[in-house]
Structure 1
Amino acid sequence: MTTKSPLLALPGAVAAEGPDEGVAAHYGDLFREQRVLADGRGFVDLSHRGVVTVTGADRLSWLHLLLTQHVEQLPPGQATEALILSPHGHIEHALYLVDDGVTTWMHVEPGTQGDLLAYLESMKFFYRVETADATGGFALVHLPAGSIVTLPDGWAVRETPYGRDVFVPREDLEAFAAQAGPPVGVLAYEALRIEAHRPRLGLETDHRTIPHELGWLETAVHLHKGCYRGQETVARVHNLGRPPRRLVFLHLDGSEVRLPGHGTPLRIAGEGAEGRVVGTVTSSARHWELGPIALAVVKRNTPEEATLVAGDTAATQETVVAP
């Protein structure tokens, strides 16, 4: 069920579609909103994202057994990322965590919290832990790096190089938004995510994706921790160094009116419409400085210097994950 934000009633708000349904795509000026974020001002309403909490004395040692990340001794207030993999090492969930000393807070893709909780509940066994879907009580708000907005004591916050993810009590969301600066839509947030080469579950991933393909090995996987589901695949591919696909950043031809959407096939320029497909566009955006940009997943052996064509749009590559 989609969580519709009350901030859609703010002046100029245009509702987002697709995976970000329920919050504002923009508030009337996409490029201005990107500049606001880049300047360390404003806030992004991400209240459609799922919020899950874990409490109990064993919460960190228990999560350590399930996640790709080393969290057994995670200090209070230190943000981290983690994945849950299938037995074959394919990505099932991406979690963005922080622990406050009593509770582990995490936000996840909209609508995925139910499946995540079902898995966590199935793995509780004798551990002293309690899991909860806190989406109804807490809304995620993003403050960009450099923001000087003051937060009340006691609120859970993930502080990262990209800014602060704040778990705002839903009853306080509108009051908080009123003093947090100009609102910024998710299209601006997504443009800066793509610029930063950060993958997103459900866009950069499919049912076959492994962490090595997207650069998550560096940010969400600890290679020297104990066993977790899918670890054998992670270790094998890491040691062989041959993931089947890799993430690339694309500079798109700015003369095209439409951006190539998620799933648009990529071919090598010069091979024509019947040329072999070497990958697909996963996310695209119009950036206030860089122009049209995208992330894509291509076959590992796609030449790094090759110009690609996304549908009818020419695209030059920047390597994100080396072949």
Structure 2
Amino acid sequence: MSADTVRSPILSATAGAVATPDGDPSPGVAWHYGDPLGEQRAAARGVAVVDRSDRAVIELVGPERLTWLHTISSQHVAGLADRHSAENLSLDLNGRVEDHFVLTDIDEVTWLDTEADRGAPLAQFLTKMVFWAQVTPAPRADTAVLTLVGPRARTGAIAELLGVPSDADVYAAGSIPDAHGFWRVMPPIGEGRTLPVVDVVIARDELTRWWSALTGAGAAPAGMWAFDALRVAAGRARLHVDTDERTIPHEADWIGGPTEHGAVHLDKGCYRGQETVSRVANIGRPPRRLVLLHLDGSSDARPATGDPVSAGGRSVGRVGSVVDHFELGPIALALVKRSVPVDAELVTGDSETGAAARIDSDLYTPDDTVPAGRAAQERLRGR
């Protein structure tokens, strides 16, 4: 853990807490509390709470905050209703993903949260893009995120404590009674994407109090190992773990508006990198696709993030998140060439000594449709 990493007070307040390893993308929070597989079971069968206070939080205030953000990011947020959320991307000029963040608008303030190492760069970019707009971005180191996962995340004592309606839709948000913060419903994770997720965004000085309140209401403590296992099983990408410097939104399954649980709305333009998104959507296909890999559990070898994925001795992709799942065993997300078939025999890591892998067919959707723009071109050519 680096000297400038903020260590969560939950690590000292919870028995058995083991911090994430050095170099982990979630520094300063719990990796597990002594039983990482049991923590996943607790989430799958009831409800678990995960300390994600490593996430960087940014506040946007000003009457033009949403219309301004709409013009510089990939999601359609100009008309985002009060107490609603969305996922969003910032792209470079070539359409490659630089930032992925979640935003919530509540009581005339827009809150953004993103990966720990992207907080400062994203805040700097937003500040640089203000120009004459009536908006002020400000990093909020005094704000933290907890996440509830499981079928009881939105029911019973937990829902009563937070004030979450049982019928709240994904991306709905609301104020937490007697607290400086809000809850928001996020897309489900876990195998089959069936486990509800509720984020709790609160003042950092109330972090320990709310951790105690949520565990007292029945939420089992769970670390980032458990959260990542359930996220990977759902095939949900994480920035700069499951993506690299070449990743475009289509490759990471981030296409779609809030109703599709995406981060890129195809019915809007006027943002950096939009040309690439439009071209791929209308006349082409992305060069790679995100897949869920089942790894050979009998192998002593285990790939690391960034390792190659090979087929027939030829590199066809890169490994992203790697984690042990309580039911599926060792699994990973990977970006592989679109031409790789679902039944390909793959190797992760060294092509000769690495772990064998196969693609999960349940999360693999064959892309044999012809894009609308390409179909129009073919008609004009008489084909």
1:196 to 234, 257, 267: 234
Q: Which residue of structure 2 aligns with residue 256 of structure 1?
A: 299
Report the AA paired with residue 173 of structure 1: L
Q: Which residue of structure 1 aligns with residue 7 of structure 2?
A: 4
**1:74-125 Cα distance to aligned partner (Å, 9 max, x none):** 1122221000000110100001111113111111001211111111111111
Structure 1 residues 1-323: aligned runs within 5 Å:
1-9=4-12, 10-17=14-21, 18-134=24-140, 136-145=141-150, 146-147=152-153, 148=155, 149=158, 150-151=161-162, 152-153=176-177, 155-162=181-188, 163-181=197-215, 182-218=220-256, 219-268=262-311, 271=312, 275-311=313-349, 312-318=354-360, 319-320=363-364, 322-323=366-367
Distance 2:333 2:182 in 1: 31
Contact 1:55 1:130 in 2 (8 A): yes
Contact 1:246 1:297 in 2 (8 A): yes
Report the AA paired with residue 24 of structure 1: A
**In terms of mean alpha carbon deviation, does 190-199 or 284-293 score higher?**
284-293
Structure 1 residue 226: Cα displacement: 3.1
Aligned residue pairs, count: 317
**1:235-254 Cα distance to aligned partner (Å, 9 max, x none):** 01111232111111111112
Contact 1:82 1:94 in 2 (8 A): yes
Distance 1:199 1:233 in 2: 20
Question: Identity over the aligned pairs, expressed in percent?
Answer: 44
Report the AA paired with residue 190 of structure 1: D
Q: Secondary structure at the match of 2:50?
A: strand
Contact 1:97 1:158 in 2 (8 A): no
Report the AA paired with residue 73 of structure 1: G
Change (3 A) 1:36 1:288: same
Name the larger-Rg structure: 2
Contact 1:91 1:210 in 2 (8 A): yes
Structure 1 residue 39: Cα displacement: 2.5
Q: Secondary structure at the match of 2:245?
A: coil
User: RCO higher in 1 or 2 (8 Å CA, sep ≥ 6)?
Assistant: 1
Contact 2:7 2:28 in 1 (8 A): yes
Distance 1:65 1:321 in 2: 32
Structure 1 residue 303: Cα displacement: 2.2
Unaligned ranges ≥5, structure 1: none
**In terms of mean alpha carbon deviation, does 259-268 or 90-99 score higher?**
259-268
Q: Secondary structure at the match of 1:140?
A: strand
Structure 1 residue 129: Cα displacement: 0.6
Structure 1 residue 257: Cα displacement: 3.9
Contact 1:252 1:314 in 2 (8 A): yes
Distance 1:127 1:40 in 2: 45
Distance 2:345 2:83 in 1: 43
Q: Secondary structure at the match of 1:115?
A: helix
Contact 2:342 2:364 in 1 (8 A): no
Q: Secondary structure at the match of 1:232?
A: helix
**In terms of mean alpha carbon deviation, does 24-33 or 73-82 score higher?**
73-82
Structure 1 residue 133: Cα displacement: 0.5
Question: 4+ runs of 1 displaced by more than 3 Å?
Answer: 319-323
Change (3 A) 1:74 1:245: same
Contact 1:249 1:294 in 2 (8 A): yes
Distance 1:257 1:178 in 2: 39
Distance 2:335 2:231 in 1: 16
Change (3 A) 1:258 1:183: farther
TM-score (norm. length: structure 2): 0.80
**1:279-314 Cα distance to aligned partner (Å, 9 max, x none):** 111111111111111100111212222121113211
Report the AA paired with residue 65 of structure 1: T
